[in-house]
Amino acid sequence: MCTSCGGSTTTIVAKDILPEAGSNSVDSAVQLIDIFRPHLSAGAQILFPFDKSWATELRQRWTTWEHPSFTSAIKPATESDLVSIVKLCAQHQIPFLATGGGHGAGMGYGTIKNAMNIDLGNFSSVELNAEANEMTVGGATLAAQVYEPLYAAGKEIPLGRSRCVGMVGLTLGGGIGSLQGRHGLVMDSLLSVRMVTARGDIVTASRTENADLFWALRGAGTNFGIITQATYRVYDAINNGQFINADFIYQAKSSRGLWDILKWADEEMPPELSIAVASGYDHAEGQALLIACVEYYGPLEDAQKFLDPFRALDPIKTGITSVPWPILSATAQFGNEETACKRSQFVNCYTVGLGQIHTDTLEKVFNMFIDFYRANPGYEGRFGYQKYCNKKVMAVPASETVYPWRNIKTQVLLRNMQTDHSIDAEVDALMRSMRSALAATSGFDGLQTYMNYAHGDEDSEALYGPNLSRVMEVKRKWDPTNMFGRGRPIPISS
């Protein structure tokens, strides 16, 4: 760590001032206050786990699985606060993690122990310039905050499937979602960012300014600094912002028919259509169930031909509605999609990207899933396939961003939420087996991982592929002491 980045010249090592997680050490708290308070604005807050406002003033992480442990937190009010915090953390060797939406996962975050949480909750804003087709958001702005302003102005932007994720975090990992068939990934709409770097500098990154940093941010952004605001291109809303949301629930006997639809979509997927198929298990009834969520931006008469194959599979429940864009994600899956937005759940995720659908493999992993459910009554989990047209995504040159896997046609998300933690090891073994089986027939030579869904045990090749060496060079230039990206670090040396 840098020990001469401003402030006093005396270096206090983190272990001397940071208490162990859960400790109520007043002396350590006083030392931290003495270090930071003189350099912060009046609106900045310094908090500790023993403060009554800890849980209310700070945005709590959405999953308790492999979570970082914090002994303190600072909630900066200004960019100048952030500059001071970064410099002082470097000087005093204090580990930290900056958080916005709090929706990041991955086992790498569990290695962050006794750290300081830099909570960006005060950087939460939306400014829309409809005439220029541009929108600027704060570093902690949630996706939920942009729907209404855009919809009211007759605009839209590609977003993910959940309203509760942070806009910036969603973008930095890539940003897949139902509008990518029309507008590409979320990061493809990013125009520029303003951020604090490891040196404590405030810089702008765009295609014309600090272009190397802008390239690296789009796919590996958490490794380079703290983004205070991001500016995006927005688009005229399609069909006046009205979507068709069609949900279907099936028994296990319909599984192959669903896999065949996904296989058809490998080549025939129109840009207006998105498909998500998830599997779960009803312990009370002792049966597996599948749910298909089909979204189409356009009128119902145009959507009918895409809905007919789902109707033909004999669903046990069907719901088809026309909904405005702001409530689409809350409506999906009969209103259950927003379960991903509950805070402090135990959620352990795995993922794999597919370039093709292999129906026998999908049926194999489906049966593995069912067998495990039947043998483990304490298990709760879902696995699903998200399918979006990727022609617009592929139209962007592969060299444009560090995220390399624009050729993925189907994203697989394996999400585990068991309360019986005696089976955690068995769950991980099952997930690795399912991931390996899917990767073996994915159509790719190796594992291709979407950063925002990554488990954390994937190697750097799975995340960055052919762009690994180049992103390592950018990392050495902008963050040579590896202050950022502790959850999913980019290797500094070969």
- State the CATH number of the domain containing residue 215: 3.30.465.10
In a domain, 373, yes or no: yes
Query: Is 348 or 11 the better-scoring residue by pLDDT?
Result: 348
pTM, two decimal places: 0.93
Task: Tell me the pLDDT band of 23, cut-offs 50, 70 and 90.
Answer: very low
Whether residue 56 has pLDDT greater than 70: yes
Predicted pLDDT of residue 337: 62
| Whether residues 218 and 262 fall in one domain | no
Residue 456 identity? G
Domain boundary, last residue among 104, 119, 134: 119
| Whether residues 95 and 153 fall in one domain | no
| Whether residues 159 and 277 fall in one domain | no
Whether residue 305 has pLDDT greater than 80: yes
Residues 6+ apart with CB under 8 A from 460: 468, 490, 491
| Whether residues 428 and 294 fall in one domain | yes
Predicted pLDDT of residue 344: 84
Whether residue 12 has pLDDT greater than 50: no
In a domain, 192, yes or no: yes
Predicted pLDDT of residue 13: 41
Predicted pLDDT of residue 8: 29
Q: What percent of the chain has pLDDT over 90?
A: 83
**Mean pLDDT value across residues 180-200:** 97
Cα end-to-end distance, the chain, whole Å: 20
Whether residue 218 has pLDDT greater than 60: yes
Domain boundary, last residue among 119, 152, 187: 119
| Whether residues 222 and 269 fall in one domain | no
| Whether residues 212 and 355 fall in one domain | no
CA distances to 118, 286, 356, 370 from 52, rounded to whole Å, are 18, 44, 51, 44
| Whether residues 426 and 337 fall in one domain | yes
Predicted pLDDT of residue 25: 66
Whether residue 1 has pLDDT greater than 80: no
Domain that holds residue 132: 126-237+466-478
In a domain, 160, yes or no: yes
| Whether residues 147 and 35 fall in one domain | no
* Dist CA 316 CA 84 (whole Å): 58
**Mean pLDDT value across residues 192-196:** 98
| Whether residues 441 and 301 fall in one domain | yes
Predicted pLDDT of residue 464: 95
In a domain, 214, yes or no: yes
| Whether residues 449 and 314 fall in one domain | yes
The CATH number given to whatever domain includes residue 300 is 3.40.462.20
SS3 for the chain is CCCCCCCCCCCCCHHHHCCCCCCCCHHHHHHHHHHHHHHCCCCCEEECCCCCCHHHHCCCCCECCCCCCEEEEEECCCHHHHHHHHHHHHHCCCCEEEECCCCCCCHHHHHCCCEEEEECCCCCCEEEECCCCEEEEECCCECHHHHHHHHHCCEECCCCCCCCCEHHHHHHHCCCCCCHHHHCCHHHHEEEEEEECCCCCEEEEECCCCHHHHHHHHHHHHHCCEEEEEEEECEECHHHHEEEEEEEEEEHHHHHHHHHHHHHHHHHCCCCEEEEEEEEEECCCCEEEEEEEEEECCCHHHHHHHHHHHHCCCCCEEEEEEEEHHHHHHHHHHHCHHHHHCCCECCEEEEEEECCCCHHHHHHHHHHHHHHHHHCCCCCEEEEEEEECCHHHHHCCHHHCCCCCCCCCEEEEEEECCCCHHHHHHHHHHHHHHHHHHHHCCCCCCCCCCHHHCCCCCCHHHHHHHHHHHHHHHHHHHCCCCCCCCCCCCCCCC
| Whether residues 144 and 292 fall in one domain | no
Whether residue 489 has pLDDT greater than 60: yes
pLDDT tens column, 352-404: 999 999 999 999 999 999 999 999 998 999 999 999 999 999 999 888 999 99
Whether residue 37 has pLDDT greater than 90: yes
Task: Tell me the pLDDT band of 161, cut-offs 50, 70 and 90.
Answer: confident
In a domain, 2, yes or no: no
* Dist CA 57 CA 68 (whole Å): 18
- Mean pLDDT value across the chain: 92
